[in-house]
């Protein structure tokens, strides 16, 4: 691995100003030797490569400096596939290296290596960012062979200006199984990390066996939650844009999230289309910016979301018969962005089924079994749920007609009925668990695990059993084993 220099980023971290990291002058994309210099020489060429993402690095600034005469130097910029070429290089001993925003993201300022140049061309000289193991060891220190955790690094920047936001906080949240005196249950863990004045952050010790939820915060400002997966023993590079135009509201139809994040509004605008894998535009797809606005695609498969918070957030598209599609978006205040979604992974849509109860049916399920014989709702058994294999209970409701699953924080979801009476859009149905009314649709995943469910009933406002009618947004009855 080539030597790497510790990062000393300037206040402007975009590539246009990265030259200031190691004191290089602002140069044209391909600088050749100055006038009067001996132009008899050879050619040095090669590739610049990102070892973490296994991708070429385009736009990297590659420099060669003579070790005997620093006045002899060459600077070029790698092309779109990471290739570079330096012509008319006199024989001698040089330091060859590159700088790029990719290195700043990883916490380094440059990569350098010695290079001996003779009369013959020097080809295929590879310049690469440090590998994941080197970066992880440099940032987090040595680790044991049994340590399977990873690290996440990146920058927090202002969504409007692109300037770094030092002393902000990046929070990573996940659920894990906890075994203690109370038994086996699900617990919530989180790790907060402060950014440096340059906006750079690094979080070590992150689990790599499950998706994590993360966002950036600075005072009252916060991005939306996004889902990330940290590679085993590896490094994840993830930046955040933080908006300053965001206001929060907690409306009557959509409650604030359990993590204390109300519905977020702002001045950003997002529009686009939803298609299937054959290119057909999908009418009626539900699209949502997590924790903010939601809408349905029109007959042309188009959607238009306004009054969105700026910064980094998660966009999700849902359509019956397909797995939901999620994209991380970086929105700017007052700007319109465009997003085109392809729904390409089909799933089985479960139909309502009717079976007859036997004498072994528990008392609390007798009503459920009776309504399944003649009732007008949708009914699902433990077998239906097991066949769908949901990770959490709300995953199952993606397959239920008339119900939308609204992501509100990344870890928590809200059930919304599209058949509520007297409302202009989806609203929260009444949730009952074993005949007891729940005050809110959020938190279902905390209260009931998929393998604990014996039956589910779903009704619109007009067909719900009288004993369970409450409000005008329909009813969801959940029965446990």
Q: How many CB atoms lie within 10 A of CB 52?
A: 21
HEC string for 405-453: EEECCCCCEEEEECCCCCCCCCECCEEEECCEEECCCCCHHHHCCHHHE
Q: Please say whether the dihedral angle defined by the alpha carbons of residues 415, 418, 419 and 423, taken in this order, is positive or negative.
A: positive
Residue with tokens 């939308």: 404
- Per-residue confidence (pLDDT) for residue 35, from 0 to 100: 39
User: Kindly report the CA angle at 155 between 152 and 161, in degrees rounded to 5?
Assistant: 155
Which CATH number, 2.170.130.10, 3.40.50.300, 3.40.50.620, 3.90.1300.10, labels domain 363-480? Answer: 2.170.130.10
Alpha-carbon span 269 to 292, nearest angstrom: 12
Residue 287's nearest CA partner among 296, 278, 279 is 296
Name the 3-class secondary structure at 383: helix
- Per-residue confidence (pLDDT) for residue 34, from 0 to 100: 42
- Per-residue confidence (pLDDT) for residue 426, from 0 to 100: 67
Q: What are phi and psi of 362, to 5 degrees?
A: -60, 155
> Going by C-beta distance under 8 Å and a sequence separation of 6 or more, which residues neighbour residue 179?
none
Residue 140 exposed, middle or buried by CB count within 10 Å (0-12, 13-18, 19+)? middle
Q: What are phi and psi of 112, to 5 degrees?
A: -135, 150
Q: Low-confidence residues of the chain, pLDDT below 70?
A: 1-39, 177-187, 247-262, 348-361, 407-412, 419-426, 439-443
- Per-residue confidence (pLDDT) for residue 107, from 0 to 100: 76
- Per-residue confidence (pLDDT) for residue 464, from 0 to 100: 85
Equal CATH topology for 4-130 and 133-242: yes
Domain boundaries, the chain: 4-130, 133-242, 260-343, 363-480
b vs e for 105-124, b when ≥16 Cβ sit within 10 Å of the residue's Cβ? bbbbbbbbbebebeeeebee
Reported in sequence order, the residue ranges of 26-107 that DSSP labels E, i.e. its strands, are 30-31, 42-50, 55-56, 61-66, 73-77, 83-89, 92-99
CATH architecture label of 133-242: Sandwich (2.60)
DSSP letter for each residue of 101-135? HHHHHHTEEEEEEEEEE-SS-EEEEEEEPPPHHHH
Alpha-carbon span 390 to 384, nearest angstrom: 10
User: Kindly report the CA angle at 416 between 412 and 418, in degrees rounded to 5?
Assistant: 155
For residue 354, CA distances in Å to 376, 402, 475 come to 11, 19, 19
User: Kindly report the CA angle at 291 between 290 and 293, in degrees rounded to 5?
Assistant: 80
User: Kindly report the CA angle at 213 between 212 and 217, in degrees rounded to 5?
Assistant: 140
- Give how far the C-alpha of residue 298 lies from the chain's centroid of Cα atoms, to the nearest Å: 26
- Per-residue confidence (pLDDT) for residue 294, from 0 to 100: 82
Q: How many CB atoms lie within 10 A of CB 398?
A: 21
CB 188 within 8 A of CB 177: no
Residues 275-313 have pLDDT tens digits of 999 999 999 898 988 878 888 899 999 999 999 999 999
- Per-residue confidence (pLDDT) for residue 89, from 0 to 100: 95
Q: Please say whether the dihedral angle defined by the alpha carbons of residues 171, 174, 180 and 183, taken in this order, is positive or negative.
A: positive
Residues 55-65 have pLDDT tens digits of 999 999 999 99
- Per-residue confidence (pLDDT) for residue 31, from 0 to 100: 42
Residue 357's nearest CA partner among 366, 346, 349 is 366
Which CATH number, 3.20.20.70, 1.20.1090.10, 3.40.190.10, 2.60.40.180, labels domain 4-130? Answer: 2.60.40.180
Q: Is the pTM of this model over 0.75?
A: no
Alpha-carbon span 349 to 353, nearest angstrom: 12
DSSP letter for each residue of 17-39? GGGGGTTPPP--SEE-PPTTS--
Name the 3-class secondary structure at 347: coil
- Per-residue confidence (pLDDT) for residue 178, from 0 to 100: 64
Residue 332's nearest CA partner among 249, 267, 240, 264 is 267
- Per-residue confidence (pLDDT) for residue 121, from 0 to 100: 95
The four Cα atoms 394, 399, 401, 403 give a dihedral, to 10 degrees, of 20
Rg of the chain on CA atoms, in Å: 28
For residue 47, CA distances in Å to 52, 56, 78 come to 15, 7, 8
- Per-residue confidence (pLDDT) for residue 39, from 0 to 100: 55
Name the 3-class secondary structure at 373: helix
The fold of 260-343 is Immunoglobulin-like (2.60.40)
Name the 3-class secondary structure at 370: helix
- Per-residue confidence (pLDDT) for residue 230, from 0 to 100: 93
């Amino acid at each position: 691995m080539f030597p790497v220099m510790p990062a000393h980023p300037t206040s402007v971290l975009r590539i246009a100003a990265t030259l200031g990291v190691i004191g290089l002058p602002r140069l044209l994309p391909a600088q050749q030797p100055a006038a009067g210099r001996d132009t008899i020489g050879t050619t040095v060429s090669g590739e610049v490569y990102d070892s973490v993402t296994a991708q070429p690095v385009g736009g990297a600034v590659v420099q060669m400096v003579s070790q005997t005469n620093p006045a002899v130097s060459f600077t070029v910029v790698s092309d779109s596939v990471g290739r570079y070429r330096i012509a008319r290089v006199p024989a001698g001993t040089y330091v060859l290296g590159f700088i790029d925003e990719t290195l700043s993201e990883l916490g380094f300022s440059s990569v350098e290596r010695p290079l001996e140049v003779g009369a013959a061309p020097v080809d295929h000289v590879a310049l690469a960012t440090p590998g994941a193991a080197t970066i992880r060891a440099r940032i987090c220190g040595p680790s044991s062979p049994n340590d399977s955790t990873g690290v996440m690094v990146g920058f927090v920047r202002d969504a409007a200006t692109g300037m770094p936001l030092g002393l902000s906080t990046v929070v990573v949240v996940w659920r894990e199984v906890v075994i203690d005196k109370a038994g086996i249950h699900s617990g919530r863990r989180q790790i907060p990390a402060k950014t440096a004045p340059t906006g750079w952050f690094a979080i070590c010790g992150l689990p790599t066996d499950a998706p994590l939820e993360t966002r950036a915060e600075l005072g009252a400002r916060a991005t939306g939650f996004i889902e990330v997966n940290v590679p085993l023993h590896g490094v994840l590079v993830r930046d955040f844009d933080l908006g300053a135009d965001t206001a929060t509201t907690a409306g009557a139809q959509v409650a604030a999230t359990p993590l204390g994040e109300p519905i977020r509004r702002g001045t950003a605008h997002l529009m686009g289309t939803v298609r299937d894998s054959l290119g057909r535009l999908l009418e009626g797809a539900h699209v949502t910016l997590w924790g903010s606005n939601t809408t349905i695609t029109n007959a042309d498969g188009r959607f238009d979301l306004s009054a969105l918070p700026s910064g980094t957030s998660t966009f999700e598209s849902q359509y019956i018969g397909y797995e939901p599609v999620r994209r991380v978006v970086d929105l700017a205040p007052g700007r319109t962005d465009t997003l085109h979604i392809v729904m390409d992974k089909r799933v089985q849509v479960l139909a309502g089924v009717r079976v007859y109860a036997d004498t072994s049916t528990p008392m609390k399920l007798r009503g459920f079994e009776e309504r399944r014989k003649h009732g007008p709702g949708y009914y699902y058994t433990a077998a239906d749920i097991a066949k769908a294999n949901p990770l959490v209970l709300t995953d199952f409701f993606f397959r239920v007609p008339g119900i939308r699953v609204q992501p509100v924080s990344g870890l928590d979801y809200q059930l919304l009925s599209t058949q509520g009476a007297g409302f202009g859009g989806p609203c929260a149905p009444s949730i009952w668990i074993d005949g007891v009314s729940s005050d809110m649709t959020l938190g279902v995943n905390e209260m009931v695990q998929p393998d604990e469910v014996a039956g589910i009933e779903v009704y619109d406002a007009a067909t719900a059993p009288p004993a369970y009618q409450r409000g005008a947004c329909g009813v969801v009855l959940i029965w446990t084993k």
